[in-house]
Structures are given as structure tokens and as C-alpha cells.
Structure 1
């Protein structure tokens, strides 16, 4: 299905004034830009939609007409919430320096103030202003997207409406519209089909090509057991896309000419589709990862569901976690940390294999970007076993994405919540070109040649704009297939340190400050001293003195509410709970806590 084009009209000041007046800012309300946009109860969104639609048009104008994007979604939040994510022309997040202007726009009362804010930021309406727009499956998303389109047309912008689409697909579509921002435009030919069809075909074609490399390592035909994966779509928009993928995989393999045993291809069984149950409620990636529980399956089926190989998306399909049920019925979780370890290990193995024939591969900088929330065991495994560089960045996609670009030629990032991707830099594409010169005429069964074949399809398989549940699903499945692993084998690479997360409500979160990567509190000054003392005391009583297993706790102010978020991990769940409880008590005491004090032990200290 092709997106609907809404062509620009002459800027209609009267219409804009009517919209701004009708959708006025509620009294005593202050809207704030979050990690990627705005997210509130859906009844509060219309004033923001009108104003940020105009803001998006101005952002496009400031880039000489490069298209940008608006996605109507509240991601993993419950159904009653909604939001607005902004995609910049490179498919990524809005530049940090524009976030303050977005906040000012969201709170401006009239058109005159909006234009004054724009002028102050050297931004003016232009001849070309192009905005891609998409929406998730929430009952109020259609109304909000129509309001955005109405506002954009009144301002004189061209609108490309993709309708119901995943957030990563919307970001990909924006990037695809700005080929000057693509890491290697030659990898992305125009197929003449819709953006979404091209997006899915790119993923599927690369996935099938990657799987086909396994048979080249064997001298005789091997029959692989038929594989199936259960996909929990969180009752969200991903549930509209996953059912298409089985059909598209079958069509691609029939028409591509790639010789591949069809039993090698994973068969996807989608459950928790839109309408099957409440969006994100007791299902989806956020629920499984945060609550450490198996998802509720709302879909009615007579089939016996395969709970040994399950993936869970979130509501807008930009996060994914994998999980299984063990023989005792307990959850075996493979979260973003485990995905990062699997993917980075695979990348380094293939680059190392290529380096035997192409020495230039040894100069490629591979690495991982994590946040303070990454489990300590994953960080230790990456450093000590995978032997890759690890950079700790501030929490938030915009921070880890930027760090991956800055530090590495092949930079992988996955937050523990399952949002992540791999970014391939200019030097990586130089490696592919050198490898082609060296290997194009060699035997296909040469290990270096196979490594080259695998590496060259990855930039088309992996969404280069943003974390993508569908893309990451096929990437992980392909790696597991090539290694001959199941989820249990993967999960045994290392054991997570037990952890506990909680939050403490405070009178004013702005009194809490942290260092750049949020691993330490810098104010109040007594807070970090007290946290260090608590960690030191627990470490002295620990059964092991290894640094990798040292108890760890950090605190950071919430970006959306007057609260402080707390993370603690230790060698046992009892110790993690105790450390989180003590950290919460310290925050409550030193940072003017309010409301109830969270406690995971019988007694809490104050």
C-alpha cells in the first residue's frame, strides 16, 4: 500500500489561528520534550500535535526541504496514553539543540509567539517543507494524525501519510527519502514499490542471503529441522506487519534464485494482534523485561504454542526481547544485554575471519555502547570474553546512538529494554570494497569469502536509522541459525547478576545531578558518598572479591516526572533488594522524598 500524499496549500493564517485557539494550552500546564518527543494522556495531546506539526515543517525548512518525520505513538505505554516521536532527516532523533525549541513550541499560546520563537532560532517557513507521518493502532491515533496533517497543510507543508506503520519503518522511510544521509547509497536501490514494501523486502532479502551462507560450509546437503518462532506483538502495530512476513519470505525465496532448504527459514506465529487484548497490558517487551514474567497470550488459538522460542515486541515495534519457558515453567529471558553480546560476538568473529585474507579488517574499530542499566555480567563478558571495547553512555537512544557513531566503525548498542541496532561507518564500507577486490574470484567455500558475504548484507538487514524489532528479530534468528544455537544455549553464555529497579518521588528532581554517563551522583554531594559506603559495606560481606561481581547501585533523576530512578545489582537477589532499599532510603532522606518509600526488605533505613 502506497502512502497517501497531501500536497501543500498556500499558508492559511486564519486556519492556523483557529486550530491554535481551539486546541489551546490547558491552564497551569507545562509540556516537556522527552527522550524522542512528547508523551502524555491522549486527551492532552491535541494542543501539542498542532504546534509540533508546525515545528516539524520548520525543521524541514531549516534543512532546505529535507523530509522529516512525525510518528503518533506512545510506544510501550498503556492504551490511554499517546505521544509524538520526531524523526530528523537522517532517520534518527531530533538534534539536542532543537529540543528546547520544541518545548517552547509545545507551550506557545498563539501563532505570533510561534513565529517569534522560530525567528529567535533562525528558523523560517520555506518553499519546501516535507513531513512523513505515521501512527500506531491506538484508538485515538487516527484523530491525532489527521489533526497533524490538517495543521501541516494549513502551514503549507507537503505531507506523506504512511498510515498504520511501525516506528522503525517511519524512521527508515525518512532516511530513505534523504539518500545523502545514508551510509552507502549504493546499497539501497529504488525498487519502484512503496516505502514499506521496500523496507520489508530489504530485511527479508538480506535475511535469506545470510542464512544461505551456512550451506556453503558443508560439502553435502544438510537437512535442517523446521523452525518456528512465536511472536508476541503486544496487541500493537507490529501485529499488522508480522503476518505479512511469512508470505513475503516465501515469495522472495521462490523468485530470488537463492538455493536454500526452506526448513532453514523461521516460520513466525504472531499472537497478541491488535484487538486481541489491551495494548501492552501484561504482554510485550516492556512487560516481559521489566516484570520478568511470561506474557499473557490473548489470541484464541487451537494450536499448541511453541514457548521455547518467543520474541516480544513493544507497542510500536522498536523494542524486542527474546524468551522461553524452561522445564519448570519459569522465564528464560534474553534481553537487550544478551542481544548485544550475541550480535557483537558474531560481528567480531566474521571480521576476524575476513582479516586472514583482507588485513585491512584488523583496523576496523568494533565496540559496544551500553548504559548504566546494562547488567554488570554482560559488561564483564564483553570485555573479558568477547574482548571488545565498551563505552558507557547516558541513558536514552539519542545518547547511545550518537556514541556508537562517534566511537566505532561498527558500533552496536542495545539498551537492556531491547531497543538497539548496529551502525556501520565509512571505514566498514571501505572494508567491503577492499574485500570484493580480493575475494570476488575466490572459492565460495573459503571462510574469508563467506565472512565477506555475511558482512556485506548486514547494512540492509539492520535498520541504520533506529532500533527495529522486525529487523532485530531476523538478525538474531539468522545468527542463532548460523551458530546452531537455541535460546537456552545463548542464555548460558553468562549469568546475569540479580538486580532491582525502583523509583522514589521527590519534591524537585532538578536538585539531583549526575556525571555524564549517569553512573555517579554529583549532587547532593552527600548522596554519592552514602551510596559508595553502602556498596563498599556489601562488597566486604560478598562471598567473592572479584570486581566483576561487586555490588553496584546508581540513581538518576527521571526525565518526565519528579522522581529519582534507582538501579541496584548484587550477587544475590536478597542483596540486590537490600541495596535498592537502602539506596531508596538515602534518596528519600537526602533529596526531599515524598509519598511512600519503596522497600524490598522487611525493614528500611531512614
Structure 2
């Protein structure tokens, strides 16, 4: 279905990747074929694409060698965003079924999003422009292509200004721009040159993450990250459920990680009245948890996320008989969102259009969006350690079960801070532990993070 790889298959991939020789690789391959009861006579099919990184063409050449050596049928879709490839996988696998997802082509992707956006904006008009920083990655040319399928600003659509879309110099990828630069540095890319209170957004290099931001009237930078997008989407979907008369049949829930700001979690549970599930970091964990709801909203704070509609929810939305013109309009918008949202994986281009639809329907500027709740000051610190594997986290990575005694000391420290919260988790890629802390004031958040980092350091050296 174009979703993330099932985690049980990661072990098989690791086994193959660590084969010590060609002969060993072949032996392991045949063993997996037997263990997993794979029918060797079944024709394998692979579709692939790449982004604009310099390494892409060499990786594709290696992949093609392997596919040809194994007699596999394949289609090269050339240069695409990561979410566009996920979209195509689902389209290929659902073609000719009742769950047919869309046309199997890049053009089909643009046409589906364009038609859904037009329907969702049928009764509304977007206001102002949005400046989109594309991280000098593949999202730049693909966003420019998508714009051709959208209603223009004059037609009540959205006026999108594209910046940082230079894909001809690979060394410019994420240079002083992109979602990670903006979130980490808490400032706009130098090239955005956006006016005060103007909507701005940044994609990451392969266009599966999106964050918004703006400069307020006092010249302060205001970040609208994945937590903000999740609360905005959950609020709007809840409104549409009520307005369409479907609220009793659609259970909406939000999935977050421990990195989600505590203020966003409280807003969802107390103001929106929706349940929140916390999972371990990583989209594969959030995606599967979101599938438990009729409508599951999941976003990591870094801006990677989407909304899932269960088969039952899609059926209710498709067959519901509206009882009034207002219900009809809400239902029409809800139907449009099921096509506008890329349900296979987080998709920055799809999420961008979703946010623009919601802001238009609510008649909100980014300032009003930002005013829904006040983020608790927070700090993220990286602590280098000799061996990250001694730090084992449980409870959706919010508690350390090892080394023994570390969590007790962290809990004692957190209790001394107003609205204090902190956790430590080992990095997945380097010998380091990441410490996250929140507190009522900026000074206290910094102080708590640094003191928890000292605790981690005392166990890790």
C-alpha cells in the first residue's frame, strides 16, 4: 500500500546487507526464500525513482544491475519526491480494485491533488501569498509542476512563491535553507525575504517534511511545526465531522512522539477533546498507531506526517446522506480531503495544500493559528557517550530502564521545575544520547536540559 516497510522485514534487509561475500549473499537469499515461502516462479516487479542528490545516478545504476541479474521486471520513474514514489506504489498495487488509489503516473499525482484542492476550495478563497523554501531539493521542480494544476490566486486559489529550488548544484542542498535548518536555527532562510505576517513554509530535501513559520509585527520569528500542523488538521477534521453529521461514526485521534510539545498535547485533549497516543520516534511507529482510528492524524515535530482514513471511514464519507446544505458542503470538503491527503506517507506538497485549505476555511492568518496555544519553552541537547547501547528507553522512549538509577535521578530533577518534563534517548545513528527538556520559562528549560545532560554524561563515560 505504499506505506513504510514492515519492521519485521528490516531484519531480513540487514541480514542481506551484511553478507560477507557473493556466495554468502546467494545462500542467505535462498534461505529467506525458503523461510518466507516465497514462490521463486512468481515474476517480481520493482518500481523506483531518485531525488536530486549527486549519489542518485550511481545508486540507480547499482540497483539496475541487481534487477537485471535477478530477471526482475522494473520501471524507472526517474526523478521524483519520496512521497510521489510511495503514491505510485499504492497506485500500481490497487489498480483495477475497489481501492484504486489513482492513475499510475507522475501526472496522475498532480491531477489528483489539483482536482481535490479545487473541490476543497469550492466555497472559499485563499488570502495572501505563501513563500515556499524547497531546500534546493527535488521538491522545487515538483512544486512548480504541481502549481500548473492548481487554481491561481485570481481564481480563488493560492499564490505560491517558490524559493531555493536550485537542483543543478548538489552542494546547495539544505544550504542555509530547508525544514531542518529552520527548525534547528529557529529562523527563516536568508533567501526567503518574506514580509511581516506573510505565510512561509520550508520543505526538506526529498519533500516528505513540511514546517510553517512567519515573522510577527514585532519582528519575532514564530515557528509552526509538525505539532501545530497536527493540531490544525485535527481541529478542522473534528469540525467537518460535526458539520457533516458524521461525528458519531468517525473516531478521530492524534498520534505524537515524546518530542511533541506538552502544550500541544494538552490543547488536543482539553480543547479539542480528542485522544492522543504517544509512540516511539519514527514514522513507522506513528503510522501504524494512527491506523487504529477512523481518522488518525500523525505528525512528528519535525514536520513529517499525514492523516489516515480507515476503510470504514471512507465508506461512511462516501455513502452519508446530508440532511441540509451546510452538511452537504462539509461532506464535500471532507471527501475532497480524502483525495488531497497522501495517505501512504508524509508528503510535504500534499500537506502544504491541506494547511492552505484549512487556513482559508477558518479565515485564519498564521498569527491566529499561532495563538491557539502557547508552546512551552524547550531545549534539545546532544550528549556524546562512549556506548549509546547502554541507554535503553521504554514507555514510548520517555523513560530509561537502563542504566540503573539514571531515571530516578532524572525524575527527582524534573520535579523541581514548574511544568517540567525531560527524557533521554539514544541516537539511532551515532554514539550520542539526545536530551529533551521543557519547563515554564526559557531559562528553566535550558537549565533542566543541561542538568539532565550532566546525569547522562555521568553514566555514559
* Aligned partner of 1:461 among 318, 337, 340: 340
Native 8 Å contact 1:350 1:455 kept in 2: yes
Matched with 2:141 is: 240
Matched with 2:442 is: 573
Matched with 1:209 is: 119
Matched, 1:382 2:255: no
Distance 2:443 2:145 in 1: 45
Matched with 2:302 is: 417
Matched with 1:67 is: none
Native 8 Å contact 1:404 1:411 kept in 2: yes
Matched with 1:256 is: none
TM-score (ref. length: structure 1): 0.72
Unaligned 5+ segments in structure 2 are: none
Matched with 2:224 is: 334
TM-score (ref. length: structure 2): 0.94
Matched, 1:309 2:199: yes
Distance 1:557 1:581 in 2: 16
Native 8 Å contact 1:520 1:528 kept in 2: yes
* Aligned partner of 1:109 among 20, 26, 32: 20
Native 8 Å contact 1:242 1:268 kept in 2: no
Q: Residue 150 of structure 1: CA displacement?
A: 1.9
Matched with 1:587 is: 456
Matched, 1:249 2:118: no
Matched, 1:284 2:178: yes
Distance 1:588 1:354 in 2: 54
Cα deviation per residue 1:84-134 (whole Å; 9 max; x = unaligned)? xxxxxx211111111111112112132321232233332554431111111
Matched with 1:354 is: 244
Matched with 1:452 is: 331
Distance 1:96 1:434 in 2: 35
Q: Residue 330 of structure 1: CA displacement?
A: 2.6
Q: Residue 181 of structure 1: CA displacement?
A: 12
Counterpart mapping for 1:172-571 below 5 A: 172-179=87-94, 185=99, 188=101, 190=103, 195-214=105-124, 227-250=128-151, 262-273=154-165, 274-275=167-168, 278-297=172-191, 305-306=194-195, 308-355=198-245, 361-406=247-292, 408-435=293-320, 438-439=321-322, 446-538=325-417, 542=418, 550-571=419-440
Q: Residue 477 of structure 1: CA displacement?
A: 0.2
Larger gyration radius, structure 1 or structure 2: 1
Change (3 A) 1:144 1:486: same
Q: Residue 227 of structure 1: CA displacement?
A: 2.9
Distance 2:362 2:394 in 1: 40
Distance 1:551 1:297 in 2: 36
Native 8 Å contact 2:126 2:157 kept in 1: no
Q: Residue 430 of structure 1: CA displacement?
A: 2.7
Matched with 1:73 is: none
Cα deviation per residue 1:269-313 (whole Å; 9 max; x = unaligned)? 111012477111221111111221111318xxxxx7546111100
Distance 1:395 1:385 in 2: 25
Distance 1:471 1:531 in 2: 40
| Secondary structure, counterpart of 2:413 in structure 1 | helix
Distance 2:388 2:374 in 1: 34
Unaligned 5+ segments in structure 1 are: 1-89, 215-223, 254-260, 299-303, 543-549, 593-606
| Secondary structure, counterpart of 1:518 in structure 2 | coil
| Secondary structure, counterpart of 2:121 in structure 1 | helix
| Secondary structure, counterpart of 1:185 in structure 2 | coil
| Secondary structure, counterpart of 1:377 in structure 2 | helix
Matched, 1:129 2:8: no
